[in-house]
Amino acid sequence: MKKFAVIITRGGFNNLLQACEWMSLAAGSGIEVSGYFRDEAAGRMSQSKIKEMTMSADYRGREASVRDLLRQENKSDLSKLLQNAKDSGNLKLSVCQDSLRYFAIKPEELIPELDEVQTAEAFWKEAVLPADQVMTF
């Protein structure tokens, strides 16, 4: 596999963490990786929202203990994890232009680890069509 596209739509911290870990593993293996945040996940890409450790409903009742574990394992800072993933290899991170509009997020409010704001059509043509594998989160 040479090219890997990842589409991240769900915005729970655990989902974003999983996507980040898979992108990091792929990039570290020498694969060209393109990640695209849209819908709820795009809404979490602002500098203020990225720090929230909100979990999906399946973690109900265990959120505090899971947050503590993630902090102990140095997995609580998504911005840092995304930067580490980028540093591990060839990883490009994009965010959906339409989703930013839906969440009233301005490009200047985004985390610096993102490389660009683009339309779904542009990501489709640039990353999905030439990908050997596409994964969604």
> What is the per-residue pLDDT across 7-54, written as a single tens digit (0 to 9) for each?
999 999 999 999 999 999 999 999 999 999 999 999 999 999 999 999
Q: Are 54 and 48 in contact (CB under 8 A)?
A: no
- Is pLDDT at 56 greater than 90 in this prediction? no
pLDDT value, residue 62: 93
| Residue 50 identity (one-letter amino acid) | I
pLDDT value, residue 57: 87
How many Å apart are CA 120 and CA 15, to the nearest integer?
Answer: 20
Fold annotation for 3-136: Hypothetical Protein Ychn; Chain: A, (3.40.1260)
Question: How much is the pTM?
Answer: 0.94
Mean per-residue pLDDT, 62-70: 94
Q: What percent of the chain has pLDDT over 90?
A: 96
